[in-house]
Amino acid sequence: MAQAQASKFKNPVVNWIDSRLPIFTMLDHEYNHYPMPRNVNYLWAFGAIAGIMLVIMIATGLFLAMQYSSHTSLAFDSVERIMRDVNYGWLLRYVHANGASMFFIAVYIHMFRGLYYGSYKAPREILWILGVIIFLVMMGTAFMGYVLPWGQMSFWGATVITNLFSAFPIVGDPIVTLLWGGFSVDNPTLNRFFALHFLLPFVLLGLVILHTAALHVCGSNNPLGIDAKGPQDTVPFNPYVTLKDGFAVVMFLIVFAFFVFFMPNYLGHPDNYIPANPLVTPAHIVPEWYFLPFYAILRAIPDKLGGVIAMFGSIALLLALPWLDTSKVRSCKFRPIYRQFFWILAIDALVLGYAGAMPAEGSWLLIARIGTFYYFFHFLVLLPVLGKLERPLPLPNSISEAVLKGAHAKSMEKA
Amino acid sequence: MAQTTHPPGTGGHAASGDGSNRRDFLYLATGAVGVVGAASAAWPFISSMNPAADTLALASIDVDLAPVAEGQAITVTWRGKPVFVRHRNAKEIEQAKTVNLGELRDPVADEARVKKPEWLIVVGICTHLGCVPLGQKVTDPRGDFEGWFCPCHGSHYDTAGRIRKGPAPANLVVPTYAFTSDTKIRLG
């Protein structure tokens, strides 16, 4: 038993390590030879982009944490000191603050890609559920990070969000006191949020590893939504996908850099440059843009508990998505009716986001209510029913057949 | 250790008729003790997140009401929260008293919310999601019922601090206080 495993690597050092801990074999298997469907498009790069964003956030966050003080009397000034006095502090902070937005952009595109191409369907349910959990942990991390600068939006955002839990009968108020560590959002709250904001990214990293492991069990989905049947349907991950993803990452980082260097505060809120004041609520409390659709759902329901349940429910129902969608066909390419509703959902999410940024009055409230209704109607009624009623278009026999036939036809046209 | 080398299924007592045996019981009992142990170990961690002794040891504060003229309101900080003290005029008291309790979301008579009718003292935190409602200054919007208006999600409170319109589920909280003299109160 106690014998080194056989290893195929030529380098003796690599070989020696690999025969004792086969990490190189694993990497070679998962990131070199790993078969990717040959027809994946650039939307498939957003998983890698999100992964890069997590690394950037952990790296900048670590160095910001070395300069930050998590005490209510010091926090705001320590962030201003980072901006003015710390070498490249402005860069680290702007990369971190805008990085959160870019991380959410990447993840939202990644999620909508999964929705469009049915990447949540069997056998990828656990992969999808892990993704939803990653999304939830990300939201918690982002929320707590936004509290740390201890500006007006930090303070009142923390107050509003922690108060959500007070909606639950009996257990609500003790939970809120437990979250606060006092009678209001105060120093104990800031301290624990900093501790958790430091911890959760590493939890995310672990979840991302699980997410990737689950992905590599059944392989990536593809725009046709049919399984790869053999080597003719796939290309090796390296160099084909590493280069393609690499190019997409560079393009994405250009957009990211544009925000960091030319409009670093565009996605933030000016009120957060006012130090927190527990006695004055800003006129409009608005969360960061990536929470706006959920904020709109919260405000659309004219009942506190109902609003909170609808908001949490809107995310929780994503966990049940693999079973809500009754259609066996994965890709929207072959679902002519559902495809249209997919785009209505995408527009609905944008409308809800816009309504979430507006005051909850008059026509905006009505729009938010219609948007909220459609969101739940889409997932709870349309998806189960459409899967039964819709007649999907015929699926191609294989990826290579569909891809090569197109190429053949094109070369014929040219000739 | 030799006892543990029995083939599966023959360990401990022979299986009884209903399919459960001593080993199953031991598994369950061990598991139950483990759960109790884990919960006991978790308790100090969770409890440490609750308010600490110095946070709880909040002194009561004394507020002098003499400088607050009729129609004026002041905000004092108590336990890190704003407390609204409003010197109501006769019209406001009248409005608060004449409301039909049946149409209130959280029905409480005005008399039950004040110790002296001219002094309304409530915690200035919206019971919806914890914003500080507007209405302390005469120039503030006071909502449809001339009490307070919460700009965050549009809750309207009346001149007794009762919720009348909007998403908040309950009236503004009346804190524990007592009049120590005609013009002085002690909060807490």
At B86-105, the pLDDT tens digits run 999 888 898 888 888 888 88
Q: Which residues of A226-264 are buried (b: 16+ CB within 10 A; e: fewer)?
A: bebeeeebbbebeeebeebbeebbeebbeebeebbeeeb
Whole-angstrom distance, CA of residue A84 vs CA of residue B5? 70
Q: How far apart are the C-alpha atoms of B49 and B51, rounded to whole Å?
A: 7
A182 lies within 8 A of chain B by CB: yes
Chain A hits for B128, CB-CB cut-off 8 Å, are 163, 304
Q: Is residue A23 part of a domain?
A: no
Catalytic residue among A18, A288, A348, A390: A288
Cβ contact, residue pair B153, A360, below 8 Å: yes
Between chain A and chain B, the number of residue pairs with CB atoms below 8 A apart is 86
pLDDT tens digits, B121-158: 999 999 888 888 998 888 888 888 888 998 888 889 99
Cβ of A356 under 8 Å from any chain B Cβ? no
**Which residues of A does the annotation place in the binding site?**
96, 110, 197, 211, 216
Q: How many domains does chain A divide into?
A: 2
* Residue-level pLDDT at A188: 93
**Helices A362-377/A304-319 angle, 10° precision:** 40
Tokens 């369950």 map to which residue? B28
**Is A401 annotated as catalytic?**
no
Same domain? For A318 and A351 the reply is yes
How far is the C-alpha of A50 from the C-alpha of A397, rounded, in Å? 32
The CATH number assigned to the domain holding A345 equals 1.10.287.980
| pLDDT on residue B1 | 42
Per-residue model confidence as pLDDT tens digits over A226-283: 999 989 999 999 999 999 999 999 999 999 999 999 999 999 999 999 999 988 888 7
Cα angle A100-A103-A107, degrees, rounded to a multiple of 5: 140
A97 shares a domain with A245: yes
State whether A252 and A307 are in the same domain.
no
Do the chains contact at A279 and B167, CB–CB below 8 Å?
Answer: no
Residue A328 annotated among the catalytic residues of the structure: no
Strands (E), A270-397: none
Closest CA to B84 of A279, A160, A152, A284: A279
Binding-site residues of A for heme b, please? 96, 110, 197, 211
Give yes or no for A272 touching B (CB within 8 A).
no
What is the per-residue pLDDT for A5?
A: 67
Do A272 and A297 have their domain in common?
A: no
Shared domain for A178 and A41, answered yes or no, is: yes
**Beta carbons of A318 and A382 less than 8 angstroms apart:** no
User: Is residue A17 situated within a structural domain?
Assistant: no
| Residues B164, B104 contacting (CB under 8 angstroms) | yes
> Which residue positions of A form the known binding site for a ubiquinone?
216
Q: What is the phi/psi pair of residue A86, to 5°?
A: -70, 135
Q: How far is A203 from chain B (nearest CA, A)?
A: 19
Catalytic residue, candidates A19, A216, A398, A401? A216
pLDDT score, position A142: 96
Q: Which of B6, B87, B128, B153 is catalytic?
A: B153
Look up tokens 């006071």; give the residue: B142
Q: Decide if A86 contacts A26 (C-beta within 8 A).
A: no
Residue A99 lies in domain: 31-280
- Pick B80's closest partner by Cβ from A166, A182, A359: A182
Going A177 to A301 to A282 to B70, the CA torsion angle's sign is negative
Partner-chain contact B51 A285, CB within 8 Å? no
Output the domain CATH number for residue A39.
1.20.810.10
Q: What is the pLDDT of residue A405?
A: 76
What distances in angstroms separate CA B43 from CA A10, A165, B33, B37, B56, one per listed residue? 54, 21, 15, 10, 19
Which of B105, B153, B156 to probe the A interface (max A CBs under 10 A)?
Answer: B153
Q: Where are the beta strands (DSSP E) in chain B?
A: 61-64, 73-78, 81-87, 119-123, 146-150, 155-158, 163-165, 177-181, 184-187
- Nearest chain A residue to B151 by CA distance is A283
Nearest to A281 among B49, B80, B152 (CB): B152
- Is residue A65 located within the same domain as residue A116? yes
Q: How far is B49 from chain A (nearest CA, A)?
A: 5
- CATH for B57-187 is 2.102.10.10
Residue B103's pLDDT is what? 84
A216 tagged catalytic: yes
Low-confidence stretches of chain A (pLDDT < 70) are 1-5, 406-415
Residue A2 φ then ψ, to 5°: -75, 65
Q: How many CB atoms lie within 10 A of CB B37?
A: 10
pTM: 0.86
Per-domain boundaries in chain B: 20-50, 57-187
Q: Which residues of A touch B78 (CB under 8 A)?
A: none
The answer on A126 and A72 residing in a single domain is yes
User: Which ipTM was obtained for this model?
Assistant: 0.72
The answer to whether position A404 is within a domain reads no
| A217 in Cβ contact with A200 (< 8 Å) | no
CB contact under 8 Å between B55 and A183, yes or no, is: yes
Q: Inspect the interface and report whether the beta carbons of B82 and A279 lie closer than 8 Å.
A: yes
